[in-house]
């Protein structure tokens, strides 16, 4: 999304002059004279990164920025506690078997709307979502992907490091097993322009968040590195999605799971922890 036009408004009947917005602004854009209502000097406006911290912190709901009104924000309450979050993180699984049915579009829209709130480096907010929301479209894309891989193989264009793609199209042709997208009825591809501060991190974080949100809503997801291999090997597949060549991206097939896990896995301690001691 392009940066919004800067607008900063304080309702001086509500403002308590507490200065919290001034202190919390990460770019130090907001000024305040002693005991006065905060304001933004015109020459500072372009430094605003539109993070809306000023709107979020104002205890008296006096401040709106970029046309966003405090009464339209959610109150900070009813958050999942550590117990609930820990259980979600441990319980989410990569789903590799899906029901064919379409996911409720309202649910998908809700998840994507929430994703607009994930952090991006320098608050660039330049993510794009390419969504396959019709199972028939996903089937067409699936067939196009395997067809493109077979062609790429005939033309010796499958790199050795992506040799799994050869097996993938052969298995699909033999018995319809879909290694790339795991038979999912939908796919979300998140991308960001390569010239933003942290495109790869922004993409991964959005998908990681989608992954957790989706699983909390009863959906299954799977990160598909194989889909990325396929799209890098046959870039025409990116064209089919409408994805600009050269943009960092990642793909996540999703849908209603056809399976249900009975318990969590046990990978505590799988990552090495190096305790840093200085001095
Ligand atoms: C970046 C990334 C790419 C992945 N690519 C694939 C993939 O192409 N196909 C697949 O079936 N699983 C893929 N996975 C899933 C991992 O194999 C899986 O996360 C891991 O085995 C742990 O299982 P869990 O996700 O159920 O905890 C990928 C995971 C990540 C994080």
Q: What is the pLDDT of residue 60?
A: 98
Extract the tokens encoding 115.
């994703």
Domain boundary among 72, 103, 120: 72
Q: Note whether residue 270 is domain-resident.
A: no
Q: Note whether residue 1 is domain-resident.
A: no
Q: What is the pLDDT of residue 5?
A: 86
Asked if 140 and 243 sit in the same domain, the reply is yes
Ligand 1 proximal residues by C-beta, below 6 Å: 93-94, 96, 182, 222-226
Answer whether residue 136 shows pLDDT above 70. yes
∠ Cα 257 261 266 (to 5°): 130
Asked if 214 and 105 sit in the same domain, the reply is yes
Share of the chain above pLDDT 70, in %: 99
Q: Give the residue, out of 220, 225, 226, 266, with the most ligand 1 atoms within 8 A of its beta carbon, to mutate for a pocket test.
A: 225
Between the CA of 228 and the centroid of ligand 1 the distance, in Å, is: 13
| Residue nearest (by alpha carbon) to ligand 1 atom 22 | 94
Q: Note whether residue 264 is domain-resident.
A: no
| Residue nearest (by alpha carbon) to ligand 1 atom 30 | 223
Share of the chain above pLDDT 90, in %: 97
Q: What is the pLDDT of residues 25-64, one digit of tens each?
A: 999 999 999 999 999 999 999 999 999 999 999 999 999 9
Q: How confident is the model at residue 224 (pLDDT cuts 50, 70, 90)?
A: very high
Asked if 138 and 251 sit in the same domain, the reply is yes
Between the CA of 93 and the centroid of ligand 1 the distance, in Å, is: 9
Q: Would strands 186-191 and 249-255 be described as parallel, antiparallel, or unpaired?
A: antiparallel
Asked if 240 and 207 sit in the same domain, the reply is yes
Asked if 141 and 219 sit in the same domain, the reply is yes
Q: Note whether residue 262 is domain-resident.
A: no
Q: How confident is the model at residue 1 (pLDDT cuts 50, 70, 90)?
A: low
Q: Note whether residue 273 is domain-resident.
A: no
Domain boundary among 45, 72, 99: 72
Between the CA of 131 and the centroid of ligand 1 the distance, in Å, is: 20
Q: SS in 3 state form for 40-60?
A: ECHHHHHHCCCCCHHHHHCCC
Asked if 87 and 219 sit in the same domain, the reply is yes
Between the CA of 180 and the centroid of ligand 1 the distance, in Å, is: 11
Enclosing domain of residue 55: 10-72
Between the CA of 125 and the centroid of ligand 1 the distance, in Å, is: 26
Between the CA of 12 and the centroid of ligand 1 the distance, in Å, is: 52
Tell me the CATH number at 40: 3.30.70.20
Between the CA of 268 and the centroid of ligand 1 the distance, in Å, is: 17
Among residues 56, 58, 45, 47, which one has the least CA distance to residue 11? 58
Arithmetic mean of pLDDT, 190-201: 98
Q: What is the pLDDT of residues 74-132, one digit of tens each?
A: 999 999 999 999 999 999 999 999 999 999 999 999 999 999 999 999 999 999 999 99
Residue 140 CB neighbours (<10 A): 13
Arithmetic mean of pLDDT, 179-205: 98
Q: Note whether residue 135 is domain-resident.
A: yes
Asked if 27 and 46 sit in the same domain, the reply is yes
Asked if 36 and 170 sit in the same domain, the reply is no
Asked if 226 and 146 sit in the same domain, the reply is yes
Backbone φ and ψ for 215, nearest 5 degrees, come out as -70, -30
| Residue nearest (by alpha carbon) to ligand 1 atom 27 | 93
Asked if 16 and 136 sit in the same domain, the reply is no
| Residue nearest (by alpha carbon) to ligand 1 atom 26 | 93
Domain boundary among 20, 43, 72: 72
Rounded to the nearest integer, the mean pLDDT of the chain is 97
> Which atom of ligand 1 has the smallest separation from the CA of 228?
8
Q: Note whether residue 274 is domain-resident.
A: no
> Which atom of ligand 1 has the smallest separation from the CA of 227?
8
Arithmetic mean of pLDDT, 222-239: 98
Q: In whole angstroms, how far apart are CA 31 and each of 37, 61, 193? A: 9, 18, 33
Q: How confident is the model at residue 269 (pLDDT cuts 50, 70, 90)?
A: confident
Tell me which residue has tokens 């854009």. Answer: 29
For the chain, how many structural domains are there in total? 2
Tell me the CATH number at 235: 3.40.109.10
Q: Note whether residue 272 is domain-resident.
A: no
Q: Would strands 220-221 and 186-191 be described as parallel, antiparallel, or unpaired?
A: unpaired
């Amino acid at each position: 999304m392009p940066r919004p036009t800067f607008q900063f408004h304080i309702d001086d009947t509500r403002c308590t002059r507490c200065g919290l917005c001034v202190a919390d602004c990460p770019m130090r854009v907001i000024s305040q004279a002693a005991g006065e209502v905060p304001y933004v000097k015109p020459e500072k406006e372009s430094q605003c990164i539109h993070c809306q911290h000023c709107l979020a912190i104002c205890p008296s709901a006096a401040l709106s920025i970029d046309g966003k009104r405090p009464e339209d924000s959610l109150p900070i309450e009813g958050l999942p506690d550590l117990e609930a979050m820990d259980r979600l993180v441990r319980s989410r699984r990569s789903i590799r078997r899906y029901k064919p049915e379409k996911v409720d579009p309202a649910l998908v829209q809700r998840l994507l709307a929430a994703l607009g709130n994930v952090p991006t480096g320098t608050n660039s907010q330049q993510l794009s979502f390419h969504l396959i929301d019709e199972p028939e479209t996903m089937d067409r894309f699936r067939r196009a992907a395997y067809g493109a891989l077979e062609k790429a193989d005939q033309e010796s264009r499958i790199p050795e490091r992506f040799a799994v793609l050869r097996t993938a199209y052969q298995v699909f042709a033999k018995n319809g097993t879909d290694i790339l997208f795991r038979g999912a009825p939908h796919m979300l591809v998140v991308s960001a322009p390569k010239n933003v501060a942290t495109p790869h991190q922004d993409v991964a974080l959005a998908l990681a968040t989608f992954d957790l949100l989706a699983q909390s809503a009863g959906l299954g997801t799977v990160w598909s590195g194989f889909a990325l291999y396929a799209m890098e090997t046959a870039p025409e597949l990116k064209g089919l999605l409408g994805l600009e060549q050269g943009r960092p991206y990642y793909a996540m097939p999703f849908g209603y799971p056809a399976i249900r896990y009975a318990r969590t896995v046990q990978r505590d301690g799988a990552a090495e922890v190096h305790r840093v001691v200085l001095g």
